[in-house]
């Protein structure tokens, strides 16, 4: 009984804390933004009208005591601070400047409870209480892809993260390792997250995504957002830590989704995620680069989006 009483007390404290939130307008909360659909207590999605899906699996800070912490071996549980706020900025700039909306899949649940960028066993550590939340997240991405392909020939998928590496630059992960980026001849195109794009657009060369003038990293770097890989910064140095893409990137750009391509975007903190002004600045550069990416590399022209 005592245990039940303590649980009740924790719930009351949590309710009191959440009730205080609206009275504190200085504190910025990503939950102030209204999305079109909440699938469960932790998963929020937005239907869009352009061929872009942004997934935000690690930005959540909800830490309910009702769900156990993951406890399987060799797991990572770090929160990608500010990535929900980043996608909120991207969405609002997209509406304001382009009058269209990306598709969004966002988790508010802390990574200590569930990791949405892993296969289900490691993601949940076999806790069946969170498998429904996991499935909601991934079934939504799957259904968004199917829905988009009714209207568009291809889909761009971006898995949005934040890294804690010292070098303040965006890391784009195409399932190409740092050593392969240093030696592009070693890249096997079929194992990259842009292989489907090469199949769909045979006129592109196999390094189109990495360091050409029309590569997404180059377009971002031109707008004062340092990015690797790009023409300006082709590869991490030997000792630089670098994320080359994870489970979601691999899954949704793989053979089961032959018309989807994309990358993992790992955002640095300073100048990108650290405050609202910088998030808006990044969002503008990001969207301008995305639109240039479509118009220069694909048959999908931004002027036709949303129509
Ligand atoms: Zn992450």
Tell me whether residue 104 is in a domain. yes
Q: Is residue 7 part of a domain?
A: no
- Tell me the CA distances in angstroms from 73 to 28, 76, 115, 119, one per residue in order: 35, 9, 13, 14
d(CA 162, ligand 1 centre) in Å: 6
Q: Are strands 52-56 and 170-173 parallel, antiparallel or unpaired?
A: unpaired
Instruction: Report pLDDT digits (tens) over 211-241.
Output: 999 999 999 999 999 999 999 999 999 999 9
Is residue 50 within 8 A of residue 101, CB to CB? The reply is yes
Distances (CA, A) of 179 to 29, 57, 186, 240: 39, 27, 9, 11
- 3's CB contacts (< 8 A; 6+ apart) are none
Distance from the alpha carbon of residue 161 to the mean position of ligand 1, in angstroms: 4
Tell me, yes or no, whether 24 lies in a domain.
Answer: no
Q: Is residue 96 part of a domain?
A: yes
- Long-range CB contacts (within 8 A, 24+) of 226-233: 226/168, 226/169, 226/170, 227/169, 227/170, 227/171, 227/172, 228/169, 228/170, 228/171, 228/172, 228/181, 229/172, 229/174, 229/176, 229/181, 233/169
Six token digits for residue 274:
């650290």
Task: For residue 36, name the pLDDT band (cuts at 50, 70, 90).
Answer: low
Task: Tell me how far the alpha carbon of residue 282 lies from the centroid of ligand 1, in angstroms.
Answer: 18
Domain membership of residue 4 (yes or no) is no
| 31 neighbors 43 (Cβ within 8 angstroms) | no
Answer yes or no: is 27 within a domain: no
pLDDT at 204: 78
Beta strands 52-56 and 155-162, pairing class? parallel
Tell me whether residue 209 is in a domain.
yes
Please give the distance, rounded to the nearest whole angstrom, from the Cα atom of residue 3 to the centre of ligand 1.
34
Cβ contacts of 12 within 8 Å, gap of 6 or more: none
Ligand 1 centroid vs 21 CA: distance in angstroms?
A: 26
User: Average pLDDT in the 90-99 region?
Assistant: 96
Q: What is the CA(194)–ligand 1 centre distance, in A?
A: 20
Residue 250 domain boundaries: 32-304
Task: Please give the pLDDT value at position 206.
Answer: 75
**Å from CA of 57 to ligand 1 middle:** 7
Give a yes or no: residue 1 inside a domain: no
Q: Which residues surround ligand 1, an ion (CB under 5 A)?
A: 58, 80, 161
Residue 17 CA to ligand 1 center (angstroms) comes to 27
Question: Domain holding 158: CATH number?
Answer: 3.40.630.40
Q: How many whole angstroms from 58 Cα to the centroid of ligand 1?
A: 5
Ligand 1 centroid, distance to 304 Cα (angstroms)? 32
Report CA(61)–ligand 1 centroid distance (Å): 13
Ligand 1 mean position, distance from CA 80 (Å): 5
How close is the Cα of 9 to the center of ligand 1, in Å?
Answer: 32
pLDDT in tens, 41-71: 999 999 999 999 999 999 999 999 999 999 9
Give the helix ranges, DSSP H, for 57-111.
Answer: 83-98
Domain count within the chain: 1
């Amino acid at each position: 009984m005592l245990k039940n009483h303590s649980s009740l007390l924790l719930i009351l404290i949590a309710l009191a804390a959440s009730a205080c939130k609206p009275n504190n307008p200085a504190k910025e909360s990503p939950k102030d933004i209204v999305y079109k659909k909440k699938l469960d207590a932790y998963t929020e999605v937005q239907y869009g009208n352009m061929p872009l899906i942004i997934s935000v699996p690690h930005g959540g800070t909800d830490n309910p005591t009702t769900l156990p912490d993951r406890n399987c071996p060799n797991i990572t549980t770090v929160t990608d601070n500010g990535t929900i706020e980043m996608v909120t900025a991207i969405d609002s700039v997209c509406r304001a400047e382009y009058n269209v909306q990306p598709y969004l899949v966002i988790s508010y649940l802390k990574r200590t409870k569930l990791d949405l960028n892993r296969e289900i066993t490691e993601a949940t550590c076999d806790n069946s209480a969170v498998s429904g939340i996991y499935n909601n997240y991934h079934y939504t991405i799957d259904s968004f892809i199917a829905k988009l392909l009714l209207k568009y020939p291809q889909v761009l998928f971006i898995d949005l993260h934040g890294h804690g590496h010292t070098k303040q630059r965006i890391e784009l992960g195409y399932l190409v390792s740092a050593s392969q980026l240093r030696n592009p001849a070693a890249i096997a195109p079929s194992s990259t997250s842009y292989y489907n794009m090469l199949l769909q657009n045979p006129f592109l060369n196999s390094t189109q995504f990495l360091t050409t003038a029309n590569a997404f990293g180059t377009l971002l770097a031109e707008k004062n957002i340092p990015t690797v890989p790009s023409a300006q910064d082709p590869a991490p140095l030997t000792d630089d830590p670098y994320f080359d893409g994870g489970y979601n990137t691999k899954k949704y750009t793989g053979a089961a989704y032959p018309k989807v391509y994309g990358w993992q975007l790992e955002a640095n903190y300073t100048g990108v995620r650290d405050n609202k002004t910088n998030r808006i600045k990044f969002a503008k550069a990001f969207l301008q680069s995305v639109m240039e990416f479509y118009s220069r590399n694909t048959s999908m022209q931004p002027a036709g989006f949303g129509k």
